[in-house]
Structure 1
Amino acid sequence: MNASAASDAVRDYDVIVIGAGPVGENVAERARAAGLSSVIVERELLGGECSFWACEPSKALLRPVVARADALRVPGLRKAVAGPLDVDAVLAHRDKMASYWKDESQVDWLDSVDVDLIRGHGRLDGPRRVAVHTEDGDVVRLAARHAVVLSTGTSAALPRIPGLDTVRAWSSREATSAEQAPSRLAVVGGGVVAVEMATAWQALGSQVTLLVREDRLLQRMEPFVGELVADGLREAGVDIRYATSVASLRRADGEVRIDLANGRELAADEILLATGRAPRTADVGLETVGLTPGDWLAVDDTFRVTAVPDGWLYAVGDVNGRALLTHQGKYQARIAGAVIGARAKGEPVDDSRWGAHIATADSTAVPQVVFTVPEVAAVGLTTQEAERTGRRVDVVDYDIGRVAGAHQYGEGYRGKARMLVDPDRGTVVGVTFVGPGTGELLHAATIAIAGEVPLERLWHAVPAFPTISEVWLRLLETYRG
């Protein structure tokens, strides 16, 4: 039910969740399924960043771009798809995928699982207490018998650039919800948001200039990833400038004037700052429980906030900084909900029930897909991470274009696979794929790593012919020599 009306009385619930993105919704639902009364507090749209400004709309923008790139390689299709994208149709589909920025269906779902909703700005108000400031100026006061869960996510971390407040810069929100393609778009950053939005808007009609402070794209991934993605962006017409920083900004005559640290100037119609994320904890009442506003929230492997005594405060999803991905946040939510339910019943929390009470994937098997041309899929360690942590690994590389299934994708397939093997245990600890269709290979890699499947067993996982999943067999053959 919608519990938005104000009251002087304190309302008691077993579990209070602040933040109704996919993560908060999952925690509240899991706690309710465990028999606990639950309420969720949200000041914006139910469904959060992922549903309205990130995962759903961004992939709706990118899917036509990737599909056309795939079709252009297939004999018999090239002429049919050689023209520009229907931008109006792409944006209309994006709007549909973002539910037209309305959350009625999410409200209906919350009602169906018997979780209460209070719309407003929720803040901690001391141990186990939350005060919700509603839009009409009322304050609803809540008390939790067992747990308060912060799932407030992150927002764009904007750099301190002189003149930033004068140019109305885009963050990821504006980049995924814009109503038309700017003629010239400057993108600052070299990470996932930067390369995905450069891919999308270049294909939708913008001339994109990518300003990258580092010397390559996607720094946290294998070096060949950034190289192949950069090749794809350049082929699409993106101007990539490495070792380039922004010194100052100003808007004049309707355009953004960008002064670069190297003394040059660049003009654009819009500028997107894709420079990282910051936790949304500046105004959630952390100071009332001895924490510092604006900080990431350190948690244990059951998602209890370690700095708060008595174990009643949990932080789930991006706000804890462990793995800033929606699917990882939902994984955390499932664990946290199970943990809260078990502790409320006095049950021990250990690795029973398939390990449902202890998070392990955040450190060993975090899968991620980057929806560029070519596509990127990675899980587990990279070579750099292994070197930095002193982990001994064997590196196995294979050209995916040599696999028979790659030829079915058309002419000129370019891609690479890397598998990292722990030679002592004989298990896979990291996999990276780059190339068309590789996102669908990722779950097999995740299972191999999370399940610690021995290489001798992987030999008996037979890939279908002719698919690019046959790259697994080629990697194993290459490793065996």
Structure 2
Amino acid sequence: MTTYDLIVIGAGAVGENVADYAKRNGLSVALVEADLVGGECSYWACMPSKALLRSTSVLRAARSVGGAAQAVTGDVDVAAVLRRRDSFTSGWDDSGQADWVSGAGIDLVRGHATITGVKEVTVDGVVHTATHAVVAATGSTALLPDIPGLADARPWTSREATSATTVPQSLVVIGGGVVATEMATAYQGLGATVTLVARSGLLGGQEPFAGELVADGLRELGVDLRVGVSPTNVLRTEHDTVEVTLDDGSTVVADEVLVATGRLPRTSDLGLENVGIEPGDWLQVDDTLLVHGTDWLYGVGDVNHRALLTHQGKYQARAAGEVIAARAQGRELSTAPWGAHVATADDAAVPQVTFTDPEVASVGLTADAATKRGIDVRVVDYDLAAVAGSALHSDSYKGQARIVVDESRKVIVGATFVGPDVSDLLHAATVAVVGEVPIGRLWHAVPSYPTVSEVWLRLLDSYGRP
């Protein structure tokens, strides 16, 4: 038996940050991992997916600017793209991240963790106890919908899509969210013939124009977009192709099928039933990330379903590490909104980028979500292509910008940008939303000319002096 102040289950980016912040605050910490240290983001999500997308994105950007376009004389080097992707995953070798854990003074325990009692975690027969807290930072896994034949067809999930060693000649993508649209973009760019099947359209939860512009972009890339239809059957044929039958009577045949229809929490085999918590469910937590009904178990990152994004999980992790240490040491807590020991931004200030072509960058509430919260909403839209910096950025720039204003307080509660490289606009919007910067003060934040950021001036012009 070994004893620590804190035991963290899951050594992905979220678990690492909880452990690091708790250790920096004076706690002894064990970090338990059954797979690769660094987790989903490092090996099967954020890093490899963006590496797959980047090369073709740069190529398209060059082709959209006169002078540069004439210099592009070849196609993307797929083998080089895959090698570059592998460099970001260190060839799926986690020794570098394991060394970081050791260097931070955190004990790495490899193996499957089971919660066997209050503040008790058993790993491969060895019992570890926590004097103060246990953190579940086990993340999420791909949801496989109940489509006849799908499970037997050896479908890809995001893991297979981001770690593939070859590019299939053809690919069917089922889903319309971030993973589906990004991987459709990536594989079409790498030479596959892609069909995207999206029952409810693209990028639900974003402003409607985001999904519409991304749909247009996918079609321009050559993706066969099937919206409003659903798969009714999937068959892996004797020729090792995949046959997907849709409810409109059509059939799509491809080399592989990628399922990207949602996520499930990795809580089914944690032993939660041993402490009276239903296994397999998302963990319900308060703003200090403490699991409801406990005073020792924390759920951080995807596992609590507040915001399934690495950067937001790391934000939660910083708060969790700080609050666990403060409680362990009997220090005063700062748990008021925007305090040091709470994850307030998860409620209405989450930034997100979808790396499609065009990109989608958003933060805060959509107009619909704000209205449903009872906010006195005013929406301001602007055509990004009408900004001088956009014309310089690309000869065929297309895009849209929107801010959602709380008229009663005269502050921005949401912003969405769609267009090439709009991710560069996002942090300014995030600061405006989180800081609740009055519209009147934003008038004095002068954007540089000629940049795409000039859209801020145009949005404020359209709004008018408050």
The TM-score, its normalising length taken from structure 1, stands at: 0.95
How far, CA to CA, are the matches of 2:56 and 2:443 in structure 1? 36
Please name the residue that 1:237 is paired with: 222
Shift of 1:353: 12
Once the 2 structures are TM-superposed, how far is the Cα of residue 352 of structure 1 from its aligned partner?
7.6
Structure 1 residue 329 displacement after superposition: 0.2
Equivalent residues of 1:298, 1:307 under 8 A apart: no
Deviation at 1:244, TM superposition (A): 1.1
Please give the alpha-carbon distance, in whole angstroms, between the structure 2 residues aligned to 1:85 and 1:69.
10
CA contact (8 A) 2:144 2:151 kept: no
Corresponding residue to 2:296 among 312, 315, 318 = 312
Within 5 Å, give how 1:19-34 maps onto structure 2: 19-34=10-25
Q: CA deviation at 1:360?
A: 0.8
Change (3 A) 1:354 1:319: closer
SS at match of 2:11: coil
8 Å CA contact retained: 2:189, 2:221: yes
The match for 1:250 is: 235
What is the CA-CA distance between 1:354 and the residue it aligns to? Answer: 7.0
Q: CA deviation at 1:263?
A: 2.1
AA of the residue aligned to 2:463: Y
Whole-Å Cα distance in 2 between the matches of residues 131 and 195 of structure 1? Answer: 40
Tell whether the 8 Å contact from 2:338 to 2:345 is kept in structure 1 after alignment. no
AA at the equivalent of 1:100: G
Match of 1:424 in 2: 408
The corresponding residue for 2:6 is 15
Q: Report the AA paired with residue 229 of structure 1.
A: V
Deviations along 1:137-168, one digit per CA (max 9) or x if unpaired, are: xx111000000000000000110111123211
Letter in 1 for 2:212: E
1:189 to 156, 175, 183: 175
The equivalent of 1:78 in structure 2 is: 69
CA contact (8 A) 2:288 2:335 kept: no
Match of 2:212 among 227, 242, 245: 227
* 1:279 aligned residue (265, 274, 298): 265
Q: Following superposition, which runs of at least 4 residues in structure 1 exceed 3 angstroms of deviation?
A: 351-354
Separation in 2, partners of 1:379, 1:447: 10
Corresponding letter in the other structure for 1:437: D
2:394 alignment counterpart: 410
**SS of residue paired to 1:361:** coil
2: distance between equivalents of 1:70 and 1:38? 46
The answer for the alignment partner of 1:7 in structure 2 is: none
The verdict on how the C-alpha distance between 1:480 and 1:132 changes in structure 2, with shifts beyond 3 A counting, is same
**2:111 alignment partner, one of 120, 143, 163:** 120
| Secondary structure of the structure 2 residue equivalent to 1:363 | coil
* Aligned residue in 2 for 1:390: 374
Name the CA distance, whole Å, in 2 between partners of 1:337 and 1:353.
17
**Offset from partner CA, 1:186-211 (integer Å, 9 cap, x none):** 00000000000000000101000000
Q: Secondary structure at the match of 2:252?
A: strand
The residue number in structure 1 matching 2:339 is 355
How far did 1:66 drift? 1.7
Tell me the secondary structure at the aligned position of residue 434 of structure 1: strand
Question: Take 1:203 and 1:418, find their aligned partners in 2: how far apart are those partners?
Answer: 28
Q: How many residues are matched? A: 464
Whole-angstrom distance in 2 between the partners of 1:469 and 1:245 = 40
Give the secondary structure class of the aligned counterpart of 2:117. Answer: coil
Q: Is the 8 A contact 1:297 1:315 kept in 2?
A: yes
The alignment status of 1:155 with 2:141, answered yes or no, reads yes
CA shift in 2, pair 1:353/1:455, >3 Å? closer
CA distance in 2, matches of 1:59, 1:146: 38
User: Aligned ranges for residues 395-474 of structure 1 at < 5 Å?
Assistant: 395-474=379-458
- After superposition, residues 289-300 of structure 1 pair within 5 angstroms as 289-300=275-286
2:350 to 366, 376, 389: 366
What is the match of residue 136 of structure 1? none
Q: Deviations over 1:407-452 (max 9, x none)?
A: 1112111011000111110100000000111101100000000000
Counterpart Cα distance in 1 of 2:361 and 2:339: 26
Q: 1:277 to 1:429 in 2, by over 3 A?
A: same
Shift of 1:456: 1.0
Amino acid of the structure 2 residue aligned with 1:478: S
**Structure 2 CA distance for aligned equivalents of residues 145 and 105 of structure 1:** 29
Preserved contact between residue 35 and residue 341 of structure 1 (Cα < 8 Å): yes
What whole-Å deviation, never above 9, does each CA across 1:379-423 have from its counterpart, x for those lacking one? 001012123333221000001111111111121110110001111
- The residue number in structure 1 matching 2:245 is 259
Aligned to 2:190: 204
Identity %: 57
Extract unaligned runs of 5+ from structure 1.
1-9, 134-138
| Mapped contact 2:13–2:41 kept (Cα < 8 A) | yes
Q: Is the 8 A contact 1:19 1:150 kept in 2?
A: yes
Farther-moved stretch of structure 1 (160-169 vs 220-229): 160-169
Residues 72 and 82 in structure 1, CA contact (< 8 A), matched pair in contact too: no
Deviations 1:294-348 (A, max 9, x none): 000000000000132xx10000000000000000000000000000110011112
Q: Which residue of 1 aligns with 2:463?
A: 479
Encode CA deviations 1:258-285: one digit per residue, 9 max, x unaligned. 1212222211100000010000000000
Measured in 2, the distance between the counterparts of 1:35 and 1:352 equals: 24
Give yes or no for contact 1:167–1:249 (8 Å, CA) kept in 2.
yes
Distance 2:83 2:370 in 1: 44
In structure 2, the residue corresponding to 1:125 is in which secondary structure? strand
Paired AA for residue 168 in structure 1: R
Aligned AA (2:127): R
TM-score norm. by structure 2 comes to 0.98
Q: Residue 196 of structure 2: SS of its match in structure 1?
A: strand
Partners of 1:124 and 1:84 in 2: how far apart? 52
Aligned to 1:95: 86
* Residue 251 of structure 1, CA deviation: 1.0
**384-393 or 148-157: which moved more?**
384-393
1:145 is the counterpart of 2:136: no
Cα distance in structure 2, aligned partners of 1:314 and 1:207: 44
